[in-house]
Structure 1
Amino acid sequence: MHKEEEIDTALIALLALLWEARQEAPEKPWSLAKLAKRTGVQMSTLLRQLNALSSAGLATVVTAESGGGSAFLSAAGAQLCASVFAPPPAE
């Protein structure tokens, strides 16, 4: 597998996790610590991935000076996830 494919897979997995967070509690973003634990990656890796999603306009990241923070899907990210992760329509 190429490094680019690994990154794409990681970003898709993170998008899926942010989508799950939105489904559970649309008004409450998940903390960066919770996201790091769920993804099983180091905080530095998570922040790099979130930065890529944020740069693409798909996620919003809020960081605190204390080192904490949270992340959630932007409207564009939610729209993308709804089309990508939505179950197929029933026939």
Structure 2
Amino acid sequence: MDDEVMTVLAGVLEALWRIEAEWPDKPCSLAKLSKQVQRPMSVLRRQLTMLEEAGLLSMALDDGGITGTVALSAAGRQLAADIFR
């Protein structure tokens, strides 16, 4: 992966980490994360898929795959804490 892609993915991780820190008991919706990172849903979903395949987060999509929630995995939470603290 090139540096630009890594920077974009790190931005998604940081936004999700901050959302989870602010609302620890509430799942993060894809719509909320999309607004935070200012990316269209289609682009965000591709980025989230890459992070999910790397074991850094999990997505739970509702019927039709249009809406859903996303959460950092333990590995993703640790990586984000190491990078963004």
TM-score in terms of structure 1 length:
0.85
SS in 1 for 2:59: strand
RMSD: 1.4
1:54-90 CA-to-partner distances (Å, cap 9, x unmatched) read: 001101111111421011100110111111111xxxx
State the shift of 1:37 in Å.
1.2
- Deviation of 1:25 after TM superposition, in Å, equals 1.7
Measure the CA separation in 2 of the matches of 1:38 and 1:16: 10
| Deviant stretches of 4+, over 6 Å | none
Counterpart in 2 of 1:84? Answer: 83
In the alignment of these two chains, the number of paired residues is 84
Offset, 1:4: 2.2
Give 1:71's aligned residue: 70
Question: Displacement, 1:46?
Answer: 0.3
* Counterpart Cα distance in 2 of 1:45 and 1:28: 24
Contact 1:21–1:29 (Cα < 8 Å) also in 2: no
Task: Pick the structure with more helix per residue.
Answer: 2
How much identity, in percent, do the aligned residues show? 43
